[in-house]
Amino acid sequence: MKKNLTCLFLLLLTLLLAGCMKDNSLYDFHRLSVDKNGSAVFIVNEGNFMYGNASLSYYDPENGEVLNDVFFKTNALPLGDVATSMAIRDSLGYIVVNNSGKIYIINTNTFKYVGKITGLTSPRNIYFINRHKAYVTDLYAKAIIIVDPDTQQVTGSISINNHNPEFYQHSSEQMVFFGKYAFVNSWSYDDQVLVINTLTDRLADSITVTKQPNSMVMDKNNKLWVLSDGGFKGSAYGQDTAALTRIDPVTRKVEKVFRFPDLAASPSNLCINAAGDSLFFLYNSWAGGSVPHAGVYAMNVNATFLPDRPLIPQRNHLFYALGIDPASGHIYVSDARDFLSRGEVYVFSAKAAALDSLQAGIIPGSFCFK
């Protein structure tokens, strides 16, 4: 009897140890270990809402190397639900994960987790004011959130007088700085550009533009350009033609409004090159309609009329996000495809010569240039 009990004990111990070894192998997988110095492009893949399948891709334009899912493969940690943007400060990358309500911080060379900022409702983008202050745009907070990047803590908020706080999701150009002021677009069901005093963290003014401003840039002439999509058919806010507006940031007066001729058009993702003399934007219809001559458009800041043909035609793609590399001037545009499978990214020269293409994650929604 004693012998049988001993055998039974050894059998149970063996099974227990085998189970522990199996569990360890599941959690202790071979992680990505790299140290990537030099220039690169991070692609923030939104993933599907409520699926928690957002991801981060890395692309080296010098050798064409592509690494997908680098956040998870390095840290054994899912990125979360709907990643919307990324910003770099020194050697740290701040990845904003909208529906998870957090901002993950990584080392941009090793992709290793450094920390996170929580206490957010539905963040969209982060902008650095100084070493101890950054602004975070937030979908539902009815305010701009102030955080300290060093302590990774929320330190305050800026009331925006009940303006609709839904900032356009897949555009990093939602806040532009001029002197001590930050100009912020208020997108959904709104027509305002808000002016924030970054010294007092207070709303100082607002500028009325056309319906639904979604992105903005500052040009070499210190003129603020604002792209509005005009809303969509059946909207309770009404629909108007999309427009590109030029503003003097000193007087805060609208100087020129360029209206697009097609009511179905909803241009987005306004960008500018490093020289500040050429505007770029996506021209298509996010509301599900179709427009002729969809694609990536380019426009000189001194032009007197809108371009009527794309620099890069969309053809059978679904252009979703746009970015201009400030170092090379190369154009990056994503194809969201069916919004379920991995998207594509296409790289072009400033003159639209095809340079490369690569597969990213699900819904590649923004670019961050290192």
Fold agreement (34-159+362-370, 164-315): yes
Amino acid found at 181: Y
Looking at residue 107, what is its pLDDT? 98
Percent of the chain with pLDDT over 70: 88
pLDDT at 196 over 60: yes
Average pLDDT of the residues in 288-310:
93
**pTM, rounded to two decimals:** 0.90
CATH of 34-159+362-370 given 3.40.50.2300, 2.130.10.10, 1.20.1630.10, 3.65.10.10: 2.130.10.10
Residue boundaries of the structural domains of the chain = 34-159+362-370, 164-315
- 164-315 folds as Methylamine Dehydrogenase; Chain H (2.130.10)
Question: How confident is residue 188, by pLDDT bands cut at 50, 70 and 90?
Answer: confident
Looking at residue 22, what is its pLDDT? 41
Question: How confident is residue 238, by pLDDT bands cut at 50, 70 and 90?
Answer: confident
Structure tokens at 28: 């202790």
pLDDT at 50 over 50: yes
Residues ≥6 apart with Cβ < 8 Å to 254 = 207, 208, 209, 245, 246, 247
How far is it, in rounded angstroms, from Cα 49 to Cα 170?
14
Question: Residues 207-231: pLDDT tens digits?
Answer: 999 999 999 999 999 999 999 999 8
Structure tokens at 69: 């899912």
> For all residues of the chain together, what is the average pLDDT?
89
Question: How confident is residue 254, by pLDDT bands cut at 50, 70 and 90?
Answer: very high
Which helix or strand (DSSP H or E) is residue 64 part of? none
Structure tokens at 135: 């602004």
- Cα 15 to Cα 5, 21, 23, 27, 240: the distances in Å are 15, 10, 12, 19, 69
